[in-house]
A and B are shown apart, each in its own frame.
Chain A
Amino acid sequence: MRRSPAAAVLATGLAAVLLGCTAGGCAQPAGSAADESAPVQVDTAFAPDPPAVGPVELAITVTDPSGRPVEDARVAVEGNMNHAGMVPVLGRAAGGDAGRYTVPLELTMGGDWYFLIAVTLPDGGTVEHRVDARVVPRP
């Protein structure tokens, strides 16, 4: 069977054209750990842990570089699934006794989520923090 030169090139290269584009997708969306240069430290904990579908609480502890709690900040949380097409869940907290802010959230579905936490400090400065979590079905 006679094969044209272009066909031979194409046969081996075609998959690379389409797959090369898809294979590069191994890069994950940019994750964000705590910014080391940030003026405060943000620590988080879910209750229940791991977070389950339904009502959960995200406890956010804000401390300054010396470890002292930061009170009177405002905290806003936006939870998104990492699959497009879902409405984000939003929550807020203020006050922060002993630097601890508890944000109630209603998680709508199991799967992989990321939570964007925006802390507005008493001096007006802002700090953003991202937490990834796998939400499990509620037992």
Chain B
Amino acid sequence: MTVVEPLPASRRPAGQRPRSAARLHGVARDAVPGTDLLRWPLVGALLRWRWARVALQLPLLAIAVLMVAHGLLGPQLAPKNLATLLGWVHYRGLLVLVLLIAGNVFCMACPFMLPRNLLRRWVEPRWRWPRWLRGKWLAIALFVAVLFAYELFDLWGSPAWTAWLIVGYFAAALVVDGLFRGASFCKHVCPVGQFNFVASTVSPLEVRVRDTAVCQSCTTMDCIRGTREGGEAAGDAGGPLRVTQRGCELALFQPYKAGNMDCTFCLDCIHACPHDNVGLSARLPASELWEDPKRSGVGRFGSRPDLAALVLVFTFGALLNAFAMVSPVYALQEWLAGVLGKVTPALGAEAPVLAALFFAGLVVEPVVLLGLAAWATRAATGQRDRTLVELVTRYAYALVPLGFGVWLAHYSFHLFTGLWTFVPVLQDLLADAGLPLLGAPDWRLGGLTPAAVDPLETGFLLLGLTGTLLVAFRIARREHPQRPWGAFLPWAGLATVLFVAALWLLAQPMEMRGSFLGS
């Protein structure tokens, strides 16, 4: 894996640094004219404002505090508590919809970063994130663990533990970024961040250089170094001078940055660039998935099996998460419980059954299906010099649109069918607090009927399938220019199988099951 790391800090005065981006042949392309949100009225002014991110974070921090308080002190009934309601219905639904129509806005507005940034005003972290923990493997493990815990412990049904989960995120961000430099928590740890990074590869907006020619003549590279008092570079080497503007803490150097992977939309590079040369522009969604340049802070997708594994967990995890809510899962669980109960009676039924389902869904199924597709591609193209792992690593990214379509279908169902359910809960909360400002709770407030949401879900799946087929074909054309169709068809077959599986899931009687194996 080749990663362009932030350059070491220099103590040279600004403007006298000998290195220039001119000799760096970056991969950034000029932004599409007219699509830069920073040049739009109002929105542009807001985003260019120095405190723009804080202004977005503060409301989410207030909501997070409210959720924690209500989760710990309010009624322990999931539909009547803001922790479970806002956390598992509204936040997740809005998250995927905003990723679809804009970009990684929720990382931009992440409230976990506020206390962390406050801490860093006084405490400068000492260590670099250890090399052996770089990459996405730790984050993948945590992502899977959160999915597993969600199912095993019925987190959607437990306001108190949903509140503790939120507190845990705040604490983890503080601890990790209190010890380690840069945005170590975001880049290497945060499961929500990894979800957003993968999903935002199909988003229409991207933080990108406006004019690459300007970068070629740039000598300060503040977009990644940042600045300290007196115009010094902030870098990552530390020093007694206070940072006045952070550069990219995720090691994404704008001239080399391509796409949204690992980008939190934090706006630091935008504020740091002395040439006002970084914008927030439109691009063709998912186009970054078929291109494979060497990306700053990321490297080549085709050389990142950890990223490919993250994409597979993202995609197959979407199916698994949806599968856990439909009727046939009961029969399968009970059958598995019967089998495993005889093998591991001491462990009980729940954890082993769920572990078996996760192993089948996140390991066996991807290995078999993608292995077959890669084998067929190699056979069809005659390229014996490429291993199956190499092919899987390259083509796995094509599954992102379909995986995102499944998440969209699932989470938007909950959001749209429960859109207004937070209103009576808020009314009830205020009434209990002696402030009946919103009147008596109207528990009839809901949202769309499930039948009305069905076409939307199917549409999201079709959109995902279309995107996956497009990306797979573009990858095939780039990787196998002699026989693109032969290379493409196995992946088209795989995408179709997954699409049909997702459609079948949607057609099943939905069951908002709450307790695993009826526990």
Which A residues lie at the B interface, using CB under 8 A?
1, 3-4, 6-7, 10-11, 14-15, 17-30, 53, 78, 80-88, 90, 108-112, 114, 134-135, 137
Shortest C-beta distance, A112 to chain B (Å), equals 4
Which residues of chain A are within 8 angstroms of B88 by Cβ–Cβ distance? 83-85
A108 to chain B, nearest CB (A): 8
Given known contacts A29-B159, A112-B515, A86 and B421 CB-to-CB distance under 8 angstroms? yes
Dominant SS at the B interface? Answer: helix
In whole angstroms, how far apart are the Cα atoms of A27 and B447 in the complex?
A: 29
Q: What B residues does A78 contact at CB under 8 A? A: 443
Q: How far is the CA of A111 from the CA of B510 in the complex (A)?
A: 8
Q: Which of B85, B168, B443 contacts A17 (CB 8 A)?
A: B168
* Chain B: interface residue total (CB-CB under 8 A): 71
B165 within 8 A of A: yes
11 residue pairs from A and B, CB less than 8 Å apart: A1-B132, A18-B142, A18-B168, A19-B145, A25-B153, A29-B78, A82-B78, A85-B414, A87-B445, A90-B444, A112-B512
Q: Are A18 and B150 in contact (CB under 8 A)?
A: no
Cβ–Cβ contact B443 & A87, under 8 A: yes
Most chain B CB inside 10 Å of its own CB: which residue of A7, A26, A29: A29
Question: For B514, what are the chain A residues with a Cβ–Cβ distance below 8 Å?
Answer: 81-83, 111-112
Binds A, one of B173-181, B297-305, B455-463, B482-490: B173-181
Interface residues of B in 108-158 (CB under 8 A from A): 126-133, 138, 141-142, 145-146, 149-150, 152-158
* Contact present for A19 and B79 (CB under 8 Å): no
* Residue B434 interfacial (CB < 8 Å): no
Q: Report the bound CA distance from A4 to B133 in whole Å.
A: 11
Q: Report the bound CA distance from A27 to B518 in whole Å.
A: 14
Instruction: Indicate if the CB atoms of B149 and A22 lie closer than 8 Å.
Output: yes
B161 within 8 A of A: yes
How far does the alpha carbon of A11 sit from the alpha carbon of B127 in the complex, in Å?
Answer: 14
Query: Given known contacts A18-B146, A25-B158, A29-B159, is B443 in contact with A85 (CB within 8 Å)?
Result: no
A137-B513 Cα distance, complex, nearest whole Å = 12
Query: Quick check: A109 and B450 within 8 Å, CB to CB?
Result: yes
Interface residues of B (CB under 8 A from A): 76-81, 84-85, 88-89, 126-133, 138, 141-142, 145-146, 149-150, 152-162, 164-165, 167-169, 171-172, 175-176, 179-180, 189, 191, 325, 327, 414-415, 417-418, 421, 443-447, 450, 509-515, 518-519
Report whether A84 and B156 are in contact in the complex, using a CB–CB cutoff of 8 Å: yes
A85 x B418 contact (CB < 8 A):
yes
Q: Is the CB of A18 within 8 A of B172?
A: yes
- Residues of A with C-beta under 8 A to B79: 80-86, 88
Q: Which residue of B lies closest to A87 (CB)?
A: B446
Q: Is the CB of A28 within 8 A of B421?
A: no
CB closest residue in chain B, given A8: B130
Point out the residue from B159, B176, B446 that lies within 8 Å of A86, measured CB to CB. Answer: B446
CB of A91 to closest CB in B, whole Å: 13
A7 to chain B: which residues have CB within 8 Å?
Answer: 127, 129-130, 132-133
Known interface pairs A15-B145, A110-B510, A112-B512; A85-B85 also in contact (CB < 8 Å): yes
Shortest CB–CB separation between residue A45 and chain B, in angstroms?
19
Chain A positions within 8 Å of B175 at CB level: 10, 17
A83 to chain B, nearest CB (A): 4
A130 to B292, alpha carbons, bound, how many Å? 57
Q: How far is the CA of A28 from the CA of B518 in the complex (A)?
A: 11
A85 CB contacts on chain B under 8 angstroms: 79, 85, 88-89, 414-415, 417-418, 421
Q: Which 8 A-B pairs have the closest CB atoms?
A: A85-B418, A21-B168, A25-B153, A87-B446, A25-B161, A22-B149, A82-B514, A7-B130
Q: Known A-B contacts: A10-B175, A83-B156. Give 8 more (CB < 8 A).
A: A7-B129, A18-B142, A22-B165, A23-B149, A28-B157, A82-B157, A87-B447, A108-B450
